[in-house]
């Protein structure tokens, strides 16, 4: 059991982190103090043209110099600093959260058949699988992931979440069974500007992992959620599917329903199931997947995990529990319970 939460202001209005903290903390029943985290979009307007790399470092010596060597293979570090944190008496500081603002060097990409985002993916995969004492937590522009082992309030206070202003927030409260207490195992998971929070357990992980591996993604974080991030990056960024189609590929319609569809629609759903059969996610899940500009919310095909949305003016809230949404906004315009496996896509109504 885990708790997931998110909010998006479609006008791009920034909201500070105290609201998402309040919502997530209502659901402490869904976690056990072993992991929590936040993703925030629009928080680095001064550095919006640079990739913000949030990194966990084991130490400020070898780990730091090694990760910088990897980063500088592809470009320049424009600015770097330790992520500001508070000392929290109740939990142990296992990692040093650090951030780099990075500009790829186009000259270093000459002669390669991939673009700068692929270079970032390669960089992240190399660092995260190297076991050299560092871990890239997020790597998108104008966004960042903040996570640790602890209760939501502790993690929020540790990272001074209330000091960040974002038009979109994701949050997660963890009840880990696989890797308790490990900071790297906390959600959200990120790659480029993707971030994913997930409640559930993916029974198709072995199939999904082997599928993304054949496209050069490496699963090194010992937990099933990681693979969801890579699946979205592959299907949406690399293959150009719409988020809706990606959602339909990951939680496909049942054949019995596809068989009854009108021809054009049937053709699309059949093609999605055929081409992306190894991307299908099985087992219970509710996920929120965000990237700059919006998010997609999705449950498994028989909705074995809860997912609720609520709207208030131009703000959309999403969570595992209605109580969490009401804690953030008591006076909602509506509450929506998405159908099993039905992707819900919410995006900014203004340009990024």
Partner 1 sequence: MNSDYTPSKYDVYVDPTKCRLCGRCIENCSYDVFRKDRDKILTYPNNCVVCHRCVSFCPANAIRIEKFSTPYRDHPLWDAEAKEDIYNQARTGKVILGGMGNAKKYPSIFDRLVLDACQITNPSIDPLREPMETRVYLGKKPKRLEFSGKGNDVELRTKLSPNIMLETPIMIAHMSYGAVSLNTQLSFAKAAKKLGTFMGSGEGGLNQALYDYSDNIIVQVASGRVGVNSDYINRGAAIEIKAGQGAKPGIGGHLPGEKVNKYVSKTRMIPEGSDAISPAPHHDIYSIEDLAQLVRGLKEATNWEKPVFVKIAAVHNSAAIAAGIARADADAVIVDGFRGGTGAAPKVLRDNVGIPIEAAVASIDEKLRKQGIRNEISIVASGGIRNSADITKAIALGADAVYIGSAALIAMGCRMCGKCYTGLCPWGISTQREDLVERLDPEWGSRQVSNLITAWTHELKELMGAAGINSIESLRGNRDRLRGYLLDENILKVLDVETVGA
Residues noted as catalytic: 2
Nearer Cβ to partner 1 (54/301) = 301
Compute the least distance from the CB of residue 45 to partner 1, in Å.
Answer: 30
Compute the least distance from the CB of residue 29 to partner 1, in Å.
Answer: 16
Helix (H, G, I), strand (E, B) or coil at 78: strand
Helix (H, G, I), strand (E, B) or coil at 23: helix
- Residue 147 · residue 36 · CB < 8 Å: yes
CA distance 64 to 58: 8
Q: Which of 258, 289, 288 lies closest to 273 in space, CA to CA?
A: 258
Can residue 226 be called a binding residue for partner 1 (CB under 8 A)?
Answer: no
Can residue 304 be called a binding residue for partner 1 (CB under 8 A)?
Answer: yes
Please pick, from the candidates 284, 312, 336, 338, the single residue that binds partner 1 as defined by CB under 8 A: 284
Please pick, from the candidates 240, 262, 330, 351, the single residue that binds partner 1 as defined by CB under 8 A: 240
CA distance 177 to 201: 10
End-to-end CA, the chain:
34
Can residue 270 be called a binding residue for partner 1 (CB under 8 A)?
Answer: yes
Please pick, from the candidates 86, 106, 129, 242, the single residue that binds partner 1 as defined by CB under 8 A: 242
Can residue 205 be called a binding residue for partner 1 (CB under 8 A)?
Answer: yes
- Residue 143 · residue 41 · CB < 8 Å: yes
Please pick, from the candidates 46, 256, 330, 331, the single residue that binds partner 1 as defined by CB under 8 A: 256
Residue 227: half-sphere exposure toward Cβ, Cα within 13 Å: 25
Can residue 340 be called a binding residue for partner 1 (CB under 8 A)?
Answer: no
Can residue 30 be called a binding residue for partner 1 (CB under 8 A)?
Answer: no
Query: What is the phi/psi pair of residue 8, to 5°?
Result: -145, 130
Q: Which stretch binds partner 1 (CB under 8 A): 18-26, 123-131, 202-210, 329-337?
A: 202-210
Can residue 114 be called a binding residue for partner 1 (CB under 8 A)?
Answer: no
Q: Which stretch binds partner 1 (CB under 8 A): 58-66, 71-79, 166-174, 249-257?
A: 249-257
CA distance 224 to 168: 24
Compute the least distance from the CB of residue 281 to partner 1, in Å.
Answer: 8
Please pick, from the candidates 64, 147, 291, 301, the single residue that binds partner 1 as defined by CB under 8 A: 301
Q: Helix, strand, coil % (nearest 5) of the chain? A: 35, 30, 40
Q: Which residues contact 140 (CB under 8 A, 6 or more apart)?
A: 51, 52, 190, 192, 193, 194, 195, 291, 292
**DSSP symbols for 259-272:** TTS-HHHHHHHHHH
Compute the least distance from the CB of residue 124 to partner 1, in Å.
Answer: 20
Can residue 222 be called a binding residue for partner 1 (CB under 8 A)?
Answer: no
Can residue 60 be called a binding residue for partner 1 (CB under 8 A)?
Answer: no
- Please report, as ranges, the residues that interact with partner 1 according to CB under 8 A: 177, 200-201, 203-207, 209-211, 213-215, 238-242, 245, 252, 254-256, 264, 267-268, 270-278, 280-284, 301-302, 304
């Amino acid at each position: 059991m885990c708790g997931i939460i998110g909010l998006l202001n479609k006008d791009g209005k920034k909201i500070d982190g105290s609201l998402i903290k309040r919502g997530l903390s209502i659901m402490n029943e869904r976690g056990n103090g072993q992991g929590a985290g936040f993703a925030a979009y629009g928080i680095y307007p001064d550095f919006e043209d640079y990739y913000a790399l949030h990194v966990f470092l084991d130490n400020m010596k070898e780990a730091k110099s090694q990760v910088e060597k990897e980063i500088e293979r592809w470009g320049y570090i424009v600015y770097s600093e330790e992520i500001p944190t508070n000392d929290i008496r109740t939990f142990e500081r296992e990692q040093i959260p650090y951030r780099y603002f990075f500009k790829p060097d186009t000259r270093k990409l000459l002669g390669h058949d991939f673009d700068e985002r692929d270079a970032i993916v390669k960089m992240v995969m190399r660092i995260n699988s190297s076991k050299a004492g560092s871990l890239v937590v997020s790597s998108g522009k104008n966004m960042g992931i903040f996570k640790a082992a602890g209760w939501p309030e502790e993690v929020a206070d540790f990272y001074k979440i209330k000091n960040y202003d974002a038009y979109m927030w994701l949050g997660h409260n963890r009840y880990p069974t696989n890797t308790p207490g490990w900071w790297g195992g906390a959600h959200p998971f990120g790659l480029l500007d993707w971030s994913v929070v997930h409640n559930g357990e993916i029974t198709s992980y072995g199939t999904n992992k082997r599928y993304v591996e054949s496209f050069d993604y490496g699963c090194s974080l010992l937990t099933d959620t990681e693979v969801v991030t890579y699946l979205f990056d592959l299907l949406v960024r690399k293959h150009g599917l719409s988020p809706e189609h990606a959602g339909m590929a990951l939680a496909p319609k049942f054949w019995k329903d596809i068989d009854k569809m009108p021809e054009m629609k049937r053709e699309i759903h059949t093609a999605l199931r055929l081409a992306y059969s190894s991307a299908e996610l099985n087992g219970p899940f509710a996920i929120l997947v965000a990237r700059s500009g919006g998010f997609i919310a999705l449950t498994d095909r028989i909705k074995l995990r809860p997912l609720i949305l609520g709207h208030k003016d131009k703000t959309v809230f999403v969570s595992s529990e209605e109580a969490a949404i009401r804690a953030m906004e008591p006076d909602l315009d509506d509450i929506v319970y998405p159908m099993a496996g039905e992707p819900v896509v919410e995006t900014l109504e203004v340009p990024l």
